[in-house]
Each structure stands twice: as C-alpha cells, then as structure tokens.
Amino acid sequence: MKKLFFLGVVFLSHLSVQAQDLTYQTPPKAIADLVDAPITPRVSIASDGKWMLLMDVQDLPTIADLSQPELRIAGLRLNPRTNGPSRVSYSTALKLKRLSGGTEIAVKGLPNPAKISEVSWSPDDSKIAFALTTEATAAAGGQIQLWVLDVATATARQIPGVRLNSVFGTAYRWLPDNQTLIARTVPANRGQVPDVTAAPTGPIVQENVGRTAAARTYQDLLKNPTDEKIFDYYATTQLLKVSLDGKTQPLGQPGVIQGASPSPDGKYILVETRHRPYSYQLTVGDFPVKVDVLDLAGNLVKSIADLPLADNVPTSFDAVPTGPRNHDWRDDAPATIYWVEAQDGGDPKKEAPIRDKVLALDAPFSAAPKEVVDLPLRYRGIRWGNNTTALVSGGRWSDRKVMTWVFNPTTKAAPTVLFDRSSQDTYNDPGTPYMKPNAAGRDVLALGGADKQTIYLLGEGASPEGSRPFVDQLNLKTRKTERWWRSEAPFYEIPVAILDTDKRLLVTRRESVEQAPNYFLRDAKKKNKLTALTTFPNPYPALGTLKKQVLQYKRADGLPLTANLYLPPITKKVMDRYLLCSKPIPLSIRTKVPLVR
C-alpha cells in the first residue's frame, strides 16, 4: 500500500483516472526516498546491562492504517477493530545485541512486518513480553496478541488464547517468578457490539444539586445511555493469570478494570475498577473507582476504597478530589500499598500547613494505615529506595515552586529538603534521580556508596551554551555533588542507562549535525573512553553536509529580520563560474560558503 508523504509542505494526494483505476500521486523519487528513509531504531537495555533490544520503528502509517475507524468515547480514542488505542507508534522488527560485543541477532518467529508495542523485560531479563497487533479489516477485526521473546534463543512466540484489552494502556504485568503474567483481556463471551441505532428509552437527565465547583470542558465524552453500553463493551476486561506454557486462569469477575498491578512479592494484585454512575461531563479518569486487593486465585483479600464520581473538584491547578487517591504498591517492599490524602479539602486556595499526607498499609491489610510523610505542597510523586531512604516531591502551580525531600519510610521522622527551586529555573535543574529495576522488576532508586546514601542524577543540562546533558552523583548526607561527565560540543549526547555505578559505566545516545544518532558505552572513570554499541547509518545521505547560515537583513519598513539558509558544499569550479557573472556573489556570503576542492 502506498503512503501519503509530508515533508515541510503537504503534498496533496490527487486521484487520477487511468483505465478506471484510482491511484494516488506520489512525489518525485528524491523526495520519496527522504521520507521513506528508515527511522533510527528504538533501544531498550536489560537491567543487568548484558543485552540491548533494538526495535525498528514504523516510518509512516499506511493508508490502511489511516483509514482505520476511531471511536472517541469517555475521553478515550480507540480502534474498535482491535480493542486498543487508535494511535500507536509500532515497532516492526526486533534484534538483540550483547553490550559486551558481537553482531546483531534478528529475532525469529515474528510476522513480517509486525506491529509491536508494550515491550517489557522480565524481572530477570531472560525474556521480553510484548503486544502484537494483527491486521484489522472491515470484514475481520484484528486483535492484540500477547507474545514472549526468549532472549537466549532470540525466538519469539505467541501465547495462545490471550487477546489483550489495551484501551487503558499496557495490558499486562510480569510476576516476579519470571514465568507468569497478569493480563487484562477481552472477555471471551462478550457478544456483539451494542446497536447504536436503538431508539432512546427515555430522556437524558443531569443534575448538579449540592455541587458548587465550576465545571471544566472535555472532548469525547459519553452522551447517552447507548454510549454507556458501547463504553462498557470495549472497556470491560477479564483479568487472566497467564503462564508462559499457555495455561490461563481467570481472576475475579469481568469489569471496567483500569489497572491491575501485582505486588512486588507476587502474592497479591491491586485492582482499580471503574463503575457506574458514569458522567456525561467528565472523562473516565473521574468516574467512580473501586480499589481492591485480590490474591492469585482471584479471591478478594481487602477492599481498600470505593471512591465516588469526582464531579466536585475545584478547577484550580493543584486541585484534587477529597479522600484517598494515587493507590500503588511500594516498589521496595514485599506487599505494602500506599496512597495520598488531601488535608485541605483538595482546594489549593485554602490555607493549610499540610497539603497532603502519604499513608501506607502492609499485608495482610488488617491493621490501621500508617502515616508515612506529610507535605506542605501538593504531592507530585515518590521514588522508593529502601527501608531507610526514599524521595518525595511536591509542587505549587501558582508560583511554580517544586521541592524534593528525603525521608525515612520506616519512621515518621520529618523529611529534610533536598531540592527547592522554581520549575521554570531550568539552568539550576539538578536532574532526575536514576532508577533501576530490583529483583522483582520494580524501579527503585539506584543507591550507591558504602552507606547506600548516594544517588545519581541525569539532567538535560540547560545552559547559556544550549543543552548539555550530564550525570552527577549526590551524597544525601553531606549534600556534596560530583560530576561524572557532561556533554561536549560539537556532539549532543544524552545518558540512557547507568550500567555500573562503581566503575561509572554509562550507555549514552550521541549525535551531531553530521553524524546520525548512535549508542555508546562511556567509561566516565577512564577519561570518558567511548565504545560504539551501534552503527546506524545516516538516514539522509542525499542531503549531504548542509551548512546552516543565519542571514540578517531589514524589511522594506526597516524591521530587522533573520532567516536560516541551508547550503550544500560548493565546489571551487562552481564558485569560479559565479565569480565570472555580471552580478557576483556578495562578499558576505562568498566568504562563509564552504568550499570543496
């Protein structure tokens, strides 16, 4: 299938009639080759630093892709033929490569081309799970299948009988045994799509009795009871426990399950289920939600919360619903649920010394919740480390204030300030703490040093010279910072992963005006020694070595303007020819154009 091309300006597709055939016009071959040039592959690195997964990227969607239907409902945009999101950037092929050296190994067993998404390493890095979307047509709908790749043999295979429901994003999670996944799937017996032509059985009634908050406006909302039925049809999920040998076990009853996360020890599942009454004014993220803990047999262990429709939240930035929110597992503990509760009624305009509290509940979930930390600003997130070290962030939109505190999650000691700055002060951005998967596959703070009190910061490095990414290490006790490395011109280089904190080994992505992006192993201890991990070619060799010049000139009314001029190298022969013209090239340009002899 031919493609529609876009390059700077839009090439409109025209229909030409030739022997009663309708065909698309395409641009000249030189332009088509530029648009069809392969995109730099995506890369995913195993947490043990032994393997790199290379993912070829779909360059442009085909006309068949663009013609797929899109269902906009409850704030979601779905492809009803696949029961997944309507807009996905797929990978089309997979390769494996050892970081210690060796050639790229093409993964066997995949269809060609493939539509791959939702890629995830197993906790022990021996396998990679991913979703594979099959072709969807009007006659036969596609589906999103669950596949697994064995790293040792570089062979992929489908897990039979599992059709993923990806309307809420990634539809599966690994258990720490590396042999089992928890998947949100399309119910096997869900029947036919509800009839959208059915006559309404009554009027649509909405009321705002007792509601005082102003209402925001949203796109793609439910409009009537028929929409509710269609939403239920596509969003309803059956949880399955899926073994790599193909065995499946249903867990609980089907429902509009927005999230299903196994505990780090693999004994429980935290399930968030949206339920009625739905709203015609809000998206699915504000629908009532029930938060439960199930065991691996699908039995209810504990009902954590049942939260109402969030239809009375102020419209101010930093406004949140009252009651518990943001339920999740503590990544560094076997089975501890934590959540956040507003102490100001969810209204940032109210004066309150404490805005949010973080609470936690340990398995078997029978005791009272424990207070973990109090925040004077609105909660922005937690990065767990271990039993004595974690980082929590808060912010205030009104003055762009952001803060990060260090706290001990075991004791209720007051947190200490680590960073206090404005989100708009990019020059003083300290960077983002580096996270590394633990044995359970959960991302936790990479803590180094003899006392495990050193964190590692990866930053964009905004400066008067432009962006210069960096890697720092920071001791949480002494607050001393040491810089490992900083990107240097003429290259733009960003840190991707830290392989060894003691040896200071990094994986970076490096590029320049003339060199295509590639991945390197950087030894920050040995004078920043570089070892190439990939050799992706320049996807646009036809453009040559263009040189950018900034031209300054004045408009007819005297307004000063600038323009970017991109010139290819000009040979001496061509320059001499121009010099013989009656109107020679201005000296200001002639002295700046690169000469190729």
Do 522 and 507 touch, CB atoms closer than 8 A? yes
pLDDT in tens, 435-470: 999 999 999 999 999 999 999 999 999 999 999 999
Average pLDDT, rounded, for the chain: 89
Give the Cα separation of 215 and 315 in Å (integer).
Answer: 7
Question: pTM to 2 decimals?
Answer: 0.87
Q: What is the mean pLDDT of residues 366-386?
A: 97
Give the Cα separation of 351 and 343 in Å (integer).
Answer: 10
Contacts from 24-30 at CB under 8 Å and sequence distance 24+?
A: 24/63, 26/2, 30/542
pLDDT in tens, 286-341: 999 999 999 999 999 999 999 999 999 998 999 999 999 999 999 999 999 999 99
- Strands, E, within 453-572: which ranges? 454-459, 470-475, 481-486, 492-500, 505-511, 518-523, 529-532, 547-554, 560-567, 570-571
Q: Which DSSP helix (H) or strand (E) runs through 55?
A: strand 51-57
pLDDT surpasses 70 at 410: yes
Residue 355, pLDDT score? 97
Do 347 and 327 touch, CB atoms closer than 8 A? no
Residue 544, pLDDT score? 67
Angle, CA 431 vertex, CA 425 and CA 435 arms, to 5°: 150
Give the Cα separation of 546 and 22 in Å (integer).
Answer: 38
Given the DSSP bridges, would you call strands 155-163 and 172-174 parallel, antiparallel or unpaired? unpaired
Q: How far is CA 95 from CA 46, 152, 441, 491, in A?
A: 13, 12, 22, 27
Query: Which amino acid type is present at position 256?
Result: V
At 151, list the tokens: 């790293």
Q: Name the phi and psi angles at 131, rounded to 5.
A: -100, 140
Give the Cα separation of 113 and 62 in Å (integer).
Answer: 12
Residue 530, pLDDT score? 93
Residue 429, pLDDT score? 97
Q: How far is CA 466 from CA 36, 426, 458, 489, in A?
A: 31, 11, 16, 10
* DSSP type of residue 397: T
Between 571 and 547, the higher pLDDT residue: 547
Q: How many CB atoms lie within 10 A of CB 214?
A: 9
Give the Cα separation of 514 and 568 in Å (integer).
Answer: 12
Give the Cα separation of 73 and 228 in Å (integer).
Answer: 9
Q: How far is CA 134 from CA 113, 128, 169, 246, 384, in A?
A: 10, 19, 17, 19, 38
What is the separation, in whole angstroms, between the first and last Cα of the chain?
44
Highest mean pLDDT pick, 195-204, 410-419, 522-531: 410-419
Q: Give the rounded percent of residues in the chain with a pLDDT score beyond 90.
A: 75
Between 39 and 267, the higher pLDDT residue: 267
Residue 596, pLDDT score? 44
Give the Cα separation of 529 and 429 in Å (integer).
Answer: 27
At 497, list the tokens: 């992963």
Residue 113, pLDDT score? 84
pLDDT band (50, 70, 90) for residue 23? confident
Do 69 and 129 touch, CB atoms closer than 8 A? no
Residue 595, pLDDT score? 46
Query: Which amino acid type is present at position 233?
Result: Y
pLDDT in tens, 207-222: 766 666 667 889 999 9
Q: What is the dihedral of CA 392, 396, 399, 402, to 10 degrees?
A: 10
Exposure class string for 104-118: b at 16+ Cβ within 10 A, else e: ebebeebeeebbbbb
Residue 307, pLDDT score? 97
Q: How far is CA 277 from CA 78, 207, 222, 229, 291, in A?
A: 22, 13, 12, 12, 16
Between 541 and 281, the higher pLDDT residue: 281
pLDDT band (50, 70, 90) for residue 20? low
pLDDT in tens, 108-166: 999 988 999 999 999 999 999 999 999 877 666 789 999 999 999 999 999 999 999 99
